[in-house]
Structure 1
Amino acid sequence: MVTSCGLGLLYPQMPGHIIAVSIIATHMLFAVFISASPMGEATPARGLDWRHIPSLLRSTKVWLLLSTLFLNRVASAPFYGFYTIFVQENGLSGEVVAWTWGLAVTTEIIMMLVVDRFIDRIGTTRMLAFGVCLEAARWFVYAIVQSKTALLLLAPWHGLAFTALYVASVRELAELIPARLRSLGQGLGAAANGLGQVVGLVIAGYAHQIIGNRGMFLIGGCVGLLACANALLLSYLVHRRHDTGRGGSSTSAGYGSDW
């Protein structure tokens, strides 16, 4: 919040060397905080059994989750790569960027405190679908709004959507993938996000140049709908399997048949 909003408002009036020092000091303080934080005893890592990887890659639900993360990142690239340009081209100042990011990050912090309770109540994949669908809706709205008030009202959506899909995706990877492959699974999730961001930024760059902000965000919204479809299908498969397991099927766990 301090960095996104407070320093965002001050930076335009500050000399370059002060900005550089403040960024370095912030990272050093964060490093000190992490170093001083109590850590549990690390469990010795077990060697990866490569024989289990084909089973991992045969899981329909794993592929649905990874493709959801990839498509969501492609869809969100116009926002992460071009939001400041979008604001300026609408005749608004950097102050709007600072305030909207400040509101978004504040909402993220609040959501981080309660999101696990909601996930425990409604399910991981449903929370993931909520976050992905809310993100897709945001891109369509950005295609039609231009005012400062509208952007400020949209800012909390970022915190809600990002926290929901981020926490839910990490938890769902942990639930879908056996413990012996969990590190690999989280790595695949990070790779899907990273690749989606790269592909999305390239597409967004060409779209912004050729069809402008409105078309760029409309493309993001359409790709976001594909991510929504994947997330909803994943949620359906997971909860159908849970319901079947409770009904007395031979598959007693929601994910057992994948392994």
Structure 2
Amino acid sequence: MPQRKSLLAIAGFYFCYFAFNGIFSPYWGLYLAALAFPSWQIGILTSLTQVNRIYAPTLWGWLADRSGRQVLILRIAGLMAVSGFTVLLVSREFWPLLLGVWLASFFWSAALPLVEATSMSLLKGDGGAYARLRIWGSIGFVVATVVAGYLIQALGVGVLPWLVMAIMAGLAVYSFLVRPVAANREEGGAAEPFGAILRRGEVRALFAACFLMALAHGPYYSFYSIYVADHGWSKSAIGWLWTIGVMAEIAVFWLMPQLTRRFSLRALLLFGLALAAARFLLIAWGVSHPAVLLLAQLGHGFTFGCHHAVTMAYIHKHFRGAHQAKGQALNIAFSFGLGGTSGGVLAGWLWPHWGGMWVFTAAAFAAVLGGLVAWWSIDRKHS
């Protein structure tokens, strides 16, 4: 029963964590534009959550493993994230927003690797069972994006700070309901020095493949809507294309237990990377064809959902016991942090010179490189 309650709390945490993404990612820039911030300030303020993911998860993961107080740190992170975002209710000036959002996202980014490590401990490293739990994050993203869109349309973009505070309050509550996992430090892998784990060729290849997969997705998250809009797609159609992608992600998360029983982790990892290359080529060259874009969006289930679940299983395999939070933090830092940020920045720099078609083609090439790294270095002895 205690384990079931903790899993329910983690499901609620995932719902709120990714519901925040579903509100903040699409609408934060619109809110800042409505406040008449210049573009350079909007660029800085919208990048804070992503930039913090480069270094903050690693710092917090190290502290959690060093102290053995993962759940305490998780609760502090939840409370401090709420406190930081209160600046949205009291100020519309650049510097207070910069400080408040930086502080909030610094603590907010600490929460996910701690919960991921707890999840994988409770589920004994079962990537399929993890995917069934993580599905609540995808549901939270969809629900929040749709509901926030209707509320902003009805009440104006000024409602955004209140939506953010409501979601972050829920995240803080769930962070207090997650319980420590006694078995976390009983796994044999904890005896191996952390540096020795990082020196394994397979571990470095895994992080490199994750970096390249996130790098490939950088143009998608930053410029997909702009690219398809430039080719005549309406805003409602663009919204449906995003929704289809997340629904495919949810479907694959739900099917992951069957997929992991039938296929090896290596096969699923390589398939996701190969599909990412095909997907971005379809977006690059088939943007004017509805059937092609629909097919490309359905691929999101494997290029994100399956890839993430498989990566979680590999991280749990290599970083056991007292190293779990650090391993999960490094995964987030290399993928969502360094990879996602680099992909978005490079796409922005290349877009005026290359155009969307060739930027998405370059994204496909990055996925190919990730696939080659994974094929050459990860689990070859089992293939």
* TM-score above 0.5, yes or no: yes
User: 2:197·2:203 contact (CA, 8 Å) conserved in 1?
Assistant: yes
Aligned residue in 2 for 1:195 = 338
Deviation, 1:221, is 0.8
- Distance in 2, Cα, partners of 1:74 & 1:174: 23
Deviation, 1:171, is 0.4
Letter matched to residue 199 of structure 1? S
User: 2:197·2:318 contact (CA, 8 Å) conserved in 1?
Assistant: no
Task: Kindly provide the CA deviation profile for residues 155-193 of structure 1, in whole angstroms up to 9, marking residues without a partner as x.
Answer: 221123211100000101111334342222222211111
Aligned residue in 2 for 1:173 = 315
- Distance in 1, Cα, partners of 2:167 & 2:212: 33
- Aligned length, in residue pairs: 237
1:160 pairs with 2:321: no
- Distance in 1, Cα, partners of 2:151 & 2:236: 9
Aligned residue in 2 for 1:108 = 249
Secondary structure, counterpart of 2:299 in structure 1: helix
User: Which of 169, 173, 181 is the aligned partner of 1:42?
Assistant: 181
Paired residues for 1:13-52 under 5 Å:
15-28=156-169, 34=174, 39-43=178-182, 52=193
Unaligned runs of 5+ in 2: 1-141
User: 2:273·2:303 contact (CA, 8 Å) conserved in 1?
Assistant: yes
Q: Percent identity among equivalent residues?
A: 25
Deviation, 1:211, is 0.8
Paired residues for 1:45-84 under 5 Å:
52-84=193-225
TM-score by length of 2: 0.55
The RMSD of aligned alpha carbons is 2.8
Paired residues for 1:233-248 under 5 Å:
233-240=376-383
User: Which of 346, 355, 361 is the aligned partner of 1:212?
Assistant: 355
Unaligned runs of 5+ in 1: 241-259
Tell me which protein shows more helix as a share of its residues: 2
Secondary structure, counterpart of 2:287 in structure 1: coil
The 10-residue stretch of structure 1 (164-173 or 178-187) with the greater mean CA deviation from structure 2? 178-187
- Distance in 2, Cα, partners of 1:131 & 1:204: 22
Letter matched to residue 169 of structure 1? T
Letter matched to residue 187 of structure 1? A
1:129 pairs with 2:270: yes
User: 2:245·2:297 contact (CA, 8 Å) conserved in 1?
Assistant: yes
Secondary structure, counterpart of 1:171 in structure 2: helix
User: 1:138·1:221 contact (CA, 8 Å) conserved in 2?
Assistant: yes
Secondary structure, counterpart of 1:92 in structure 2: coil
CA gap of 1:29–1:179, structure 2 versus 1, over 3 A, is closer
Letter matched to residue 211 of structure 2? F
Deviation, 1:117, is 2.6
TM-score by length of 1: 0.79
The 10-residue stretch of structure 1 (69-78 or 125-134) with the greater mean CA deviation from structure 2? 125-134
Aligned residue in 2 for 1:257 = none
- Distance in 1, Cα, partners of 2:235 & 2:176: 35
1:90 pairs with 2:241: no
User: 1:129·1:235 contact (CA, 8 Å) conserved in 2?
Assistant: no
